[in-house]
Structure 1
Amino acid sequence: MKKSILLLVLAGIFYSCMKDLPTELAFENYTFSSIDEDGGNWKPVLVENGAAIEISAPSPVDSDSYQAELAELKEILSQASEADKQAVHRWTNNPVVRWNEIALELIAKYNLIPGPNEDGTYTLPNPANPAGPPAFPFAHPPYASRALAYLSVAQFDGMITAWHYKFTFDREAPYLVDESIPHEFAPNPLPSYPSDGAVVAAASVAVLKAMFPLEAEYLENLEQDHLQALMLSGEHVKSDVDAGVIIGKEIAAVALQRASSDGMKNAQTPKSVSDSLENAAFERFGWKWENLEVPRRPVGLTPLFGQVTMWNVPNVEATRPPVPPAPNSPEYLEDVRLLEEYAANRTVERRRIANFWQDGLGTYTPPGHWNDFANRFIVKYKLNTLRSARTLAYMNMAIMDAGISCWDAKYYYHYPRPIQLIEGFETIAGTPNFPSYTSGHSAFSAAGAEVLAYIFPQEANQVREWAEEAAISRVYGGIHWTFDAYVGTNQGINVAQYSIDKAKIDGAD
């Protein structure tokens, strides 16, 4: 990996065909490439199996109660406005992508560093007082990776549960029961009970409200809009939607119970704990990172994120990288030479790469960038909602695990950044307030790329090229050593393999 990255760097052949990515994809509903009738037997992440959450059996389509629901649906359809019809197509028949995009939008909105107080001190965002100031959360990359992981895992387990009951009860969609009911989506022969879209909506809203509490009303309005669209599509009656909501809420409750005890609440430490980590590293290695940002925050970003519970890696020691080069060692001095060369030759292409992958404040962060890629592949290959949720779940678990592994290394080794050790060195990508080794961009990106390469083997070369470009972009920006990048890339690959190994035995392949 080291040789590969350095050859690409020296050749200057990196490129990217994707720029200025919008948050919302413009795609029409489509016919799924597969239905996965056995999807209810796949192995979930949070619950034991697809039957772990119980719902009642639906009424038969020839029953009086179902016929009453059809009449109610026809009345709703007769009163639908043009705006209502547009909403149906805005949600599409793959709401997994749409709710993921909503999460990316919120991450970008809340990815803002809390400013200093008048006296120069900092007040941290507080979930007990989300309105602040400052507002909670600060959706930095570790926070974003966690929010996306819990969202996607809840969606995936919810979809397995929905599939279990769909093919257990096998109730036809309203437009098939009554030909007078219009159908707005592409034909997909999925049973209607429970509504998979309602599962996605309810689970997504519950998780995102917990992660972004100030957005509760906004999210609840989106949920109602989505649930209404599910009926207006002609694919569901109210009991389909109600059953899906039950599943979504219960799955989200299980996910949030895990989140409540995963250690994230302790990740942002007081200064005394941060100082102890710094001192421990200095005693081990004889170096320590110093925060050179202006204005300077007293504590680095989430020093104990490396102690948050991982999804598929047994412990952080399993993926902790080796000791970085000691300052003034031959490998270190070679890296200084490379960084000084890049600084003296900041070409238009290198600046473009550094800027494209910056994913800084006000963006959806590096984890969000890979979710955007995943969404595009999901649509390109016409995945159904179950497989879409599976893709995002395994990718985001791997990305979060990679972030945890990376942050463990950052604060275990506490390695200084180039701006601290190279006299007169300047960056073009800001000054992060956490240690250098390893690169978060590299670890997040490599983990995301490996999972996408597993699920979309046709795209393997492309996503791995993107991951290497993301890694070297931080070197071009002047904020990382090259060994931060290539070791971080290997770290992300190693971490992702644990999620891929789980995916290989979940029943989907």
Structure 2
Amino acid sequence: MKYSILTFFLIVFFLFTNCEKKDTKKLTQNPEYIHRTVKKLTDVIVHDIFSPPVASRIYAYTMIAGYEALVPDFPEYQSLAGQIRDLKEIPKPDPNKTYCFPLASVHAILTTAKMNFIFSPEKIEEFENQIYTELKKTGISDEEYANSLLFGTKIAEHIVSWSRTDNYRESRTFPKYEIRDEPSRWRPTPPTYMTAVEPHWNKIRPMTLDSAAQFAPPPHPTFDTTRSSAFFKEVMEVYEVKKNLTKEQIEIAQFWDNNPFVMNLVGHASFASKQISPGGHWVGISKIACQKSNADIMQTMATYTLTGLTMLDAFISCWDEKYRSNLVRPETVINKYIDKEWTPLLQTPPFPEYTSGHSVVSSAIAVALTSIYGENFAFTDSTEVEYGFTVRSYQSFMKAAEEACISRLYGGIHYRAAIENGKEQGLKIGNWVVNRVRMKKISVEKIDRR
């Protein structure tokens, strides 16, 4: 009898401790840990005022770090090593040790950012203390906690080492953009007359593209100020649209502005306002898609990762064309040939016009998100609420991308050719990425959103 009672209590103890472990793992696999970490990264990117191309690089590398630190816990997913250019085999966890891989993932993201990408590591450290404490309180043992941080650090070091071979540091010393007195060529615009942003971004190593010029768009209409020319007709369209904007068109333009640094002039006073970049806006949409679909922590991390690497390739491709064509912005042409007092609704960004960055990036990421969540994924975009704008609803990612594209005409900062050809450029990039990057160990069908 005594033996039976003892056996009974041992069984109860075993079941209790086993359930406790399962509950701990369930708690740590809450995708909100990833969402909060990515949001903190976005906040720091906004605070540090990184340009859209540079922000895309930050998102790409940090998200890959988070993905690679989490993937060992999900056998249906696979590493990106060998799929992305020059990314070698990733450090493996020790099979004789226990880990909390969500903690390792969060740590890999934040450590990667601090080691090589941001200017304000102290803002990351404040958040680290909070989120690590929360994860520790879920029941992780001291040994598991230490193992997880060490593994996350190894992943971060591996990703940072890889990032340092992408030509970014070298490009900091390349020649500055040369301003020439040629009417067709881009030049700095009011009110800040900022110098050209990242004129050598096409020298940055892509994630998946064969080259920056792989999806070069067709040439823009030839610069010609003759009233009957195709180019001048596009100029006049920008001019006329501004005069007849509806309330909704104004709202659309402002919603998709996503200029990281806008200089506001009020009389003789001026002040700057910060916003998320175009890529940051789509990172916000990625979060909305994950939460609406109840994506688990691995799908959440995979979503952010696909968004990040697609974003970087899209910016590399777009910037390659921008500084090849070097096309002048509508504001400069209109002020010189039509109306010297004219100003666009949005502040003109400090880089050449063709193609439209938002059109390329939005279309590419829309394809990437559609590959995960489907063609008719309706959602309400609340990303801009914290920046003073309302929400907008869409029937699909492609519908949202199309609105982002046309917003550049409403804003007065792009001609139609840059928008339409930029969209096509982005679709090609998106399809290229989703057909070459395999996260789940299953095939992905080609998706063509035209």
TM-score (norm 1): 0.66
Write out per-residue CA displacement over residues 17-54 of structure 1, whole angstroms, 9 at most, x where no aligned residue. xxxxxxxxxxxxxxxxxxxxxxxxxxxxxxxxxxxxxx
The alignment status of 1:102 with 2:51, answered yes or no, reads no
Q: Which residue of 2 aligns with 1:37?
A: none
Aligned alpha-carbon RMSD (Å): 3.0
Secondary structure in 1 aligned to 2:40? helix
Match of 1:263 among 161, 167, 177: 167
The alignment status of 1:292 with 2:158, answered yes or no, reads no
Write out per-residue CA displacement over residues 253-280 of structure 1, whole angstroms, 9 at most, x where no aligned residue. 111112212122244566x5422xx67x
**CA–CA distance in structure 2, aligned partners of residues 90 and 366 of structure 1:** 31
Q: Is the 8 A contact 1:293 1:432 kept in 2?
A: no
Q: Is the 8 A contact 1:154 1:252 kept in 2?
A: yes
Q: Is the 8 A contact 1:201 1:245 kept in 2?
A: no
**CA–CA distance in structure 2, aligned partners of residues 333 and 96 of structure 1:** 48
Going from structure 1 to structure 2, the CA distance change for 1:429 and 1:89 (only over 3 Å counts) comes to farther
**CA–CA distance in structure 1, aligned partners of residues 60 and 52 of structure 2:** 12
Shift of 1:250: 1.2
Match of 1:147 among 30, 36, 58: 58
Q: Is the 8 A contact 2:76 2:440 kept in 1?
A: no
**CA–CA distance in structure 1, aligned partners of residues 369 and 410 of structure 2:** 25
**CA–CA distance in structure 2, aligned partners of residues 269 and 441 of structure 1:** 27
**CA–CA distance in structure 2, aligned partners of residues 161 and 377 of structure 1:** 24
The alignment status of 1:156 with 2:67, answered yes or no, reads yes
**CA–CA distance in structure 2, aligned partners of residues 246 and 110 of structure 1:** 28
Q: Which residue of 2 aligns with 1:8?
A: none
Match of 1:471 among 385, 388, 405: 405
Q: Is the 8 A contact 1:94 1:384 kept in 2?
A: no
The alignment status of 1:240 with 2:240, answered yes or no, reads no
Q: Which residue of 1 aligns with 2:82?
A: none
Match of 1:370 among 264, 273, 282: 282
Letter in 2 for 1:292: T
Going from structure 1 to structure 2, the CA distance change for 1:505 and 1:431 (only over 3 Å counts) comes to closer
The alignment status of 1:451 with 2:355, answered yes or no, reads no
Write out per-residue CA displacement over residues 91-143 of structure 1, whole angstroms, 9 at most, x where no aligned residue. 955422111111111122122xxxxxxxxxxxxxxxxxxxxxxxxxxx11111
Q: Is the 8 A contact 2:28 2:103 kept in 1?
A: no
Going from structure 1 to structure 2, the CA distance change for 1:223 and 1:240 (only over 3 Å counts) comes to same
**CA–CA distance in structure 2, aligned partners of residues 478 and 207 of structure 1:** 38
Aligned-residue sequence identity (percent) comes to 24
Shift of 1:498: 2.1
The alignment status of 1:316 with 2:212, answered yes or no, reads yes
Going from structure 1 to structure 2, the CA distance change for 1:211 and 1:354 (only over 3 Å counts) comes to farther
**CA–CA distance in structure 1, aligned partners of residues 31 and 348 of structure 2:** 43
**CA–CA distance in structure 1, aligned partners of residues 404 and 313 of structure 2:** 18
Shift of 1:336: 2.4
The alignment status of 1:392 with 2:269, answered yes or no, reads no
Q: Which residue of 2 aligns with 1:442?
A: 359
Secondary structure in 1 aligned to 2:364? helix
**CA–CA distance in structure 1, aligned partners of residues 116 and 37 of structure 2:** 14
**CA–CA distance in structure 2, aligned partners of residues 156 and 508 of structure 1:** 17
Unpaired runs of 5+ residues, structure 1, are 1-61, 75-87, 112-138, 167-191
Shift of 1:244: 1.9
Secondary structure in 1 aligned to 2:177? helix
**CA–CA distance in structure 2, aligned partners of residues 165 and 219 of structure 1:** 31
Q: Which residue of 1 aligns with 2:325?
A: 413
Shift of 1:249: 1.0
The alignment status of 1:331 with 2:265, answered yes or no, reads no
Q: Which residue of 2 aligns with 1:345?
A: 244
Shift of 1:428: 1.3
Going from structure 1 to structure 2, the CA distance change for 1:291 and 1:215 (only over 3 Å counts) comes to closer
Q: Which residue of 1 aligns with 2:292?
A: 380
Shift of 1:247: 2.0
Letter in 1 for 2:177: S
Secondary structure in 1 aligned to 2:223? coil
Letter in 2 for 1:476: Y
Q: Is the 8 A contact 1:199 1:245 kept in 2?
A: yes
Q: Is the 8 A contact 1:444 1:492 kept in 2?
A: yes
Write out per-residue CA displacement over residues 370-414 of structure 1, whole angstroms, 9 at most, x where no aligned residue. 011101111111222221111111111111110011111110110
Shift of 1:492: 1.2
**CA–CA distance in structure 2, aligned partners of residues 223 and 505 of structure 1:** 27
**CA–CA distance in structure 2, aligned partners of residues 402 and 439 of structure 1:** 11
Shift of 1:89: 9.0
Shift of 1:464: 0.7
Unpaired runs of 5+ residues, structure 2, are 1-9, 78-96, 262-273, 379-394, 444-450
Match of 2:430 among 491, 496, 508: 496
Letter in 1 for 2:63: S
The alignment status of 1:218 with 2:123, answered yes or no, reads yes
Shift of 1:435: 0.4
Shift of 1:209: 0.8
Q: Is the 8 A contact 1:162 1:194 kept in 2?
A: no
Shift of 1:467: 0.6
Going from structure 1 to structure 2, the CA distance change for 1:333 and 1:294 (only over 3 Å counts) comes to closer
Write out per-residue CA displacement over residues 1-22 of structure 1, whole angstroms, 9 at most, x where no aligned residue. xxxxxxxxxxxxxxxxxxxxxx
Going from structure 1 to structure 2, the CA distance change for 1:273 and 1:198 (only over 3 Å counts) comes to same
Q: Which residue of 1 aligns with 2:267?
A: none
Going from structure 1 to structure 2, the CA distance change for 1:258 and 1:90 (only over 3 Å counts) comes to closer
Secondary structure in 2 aligned to 1:468? helix
Match of 1:401 among 299, 313, 320: 313
Letter in 1 for 2:57: R
Going from structure 1 to structure 2, the CA distance change for 1:162 and 1:243 (only over 3 Å counts) comes to farther
Write out per-residue CA displacement over residues 340-388 of structure 1, whole angstroms, 9 at most, x where no aligned residue. 2202202211111111111122112110100111011111112222211
Letter in 1 for 2:367: E
Shift of 1:327: 2.0
Letter in 2 for 1:473: S
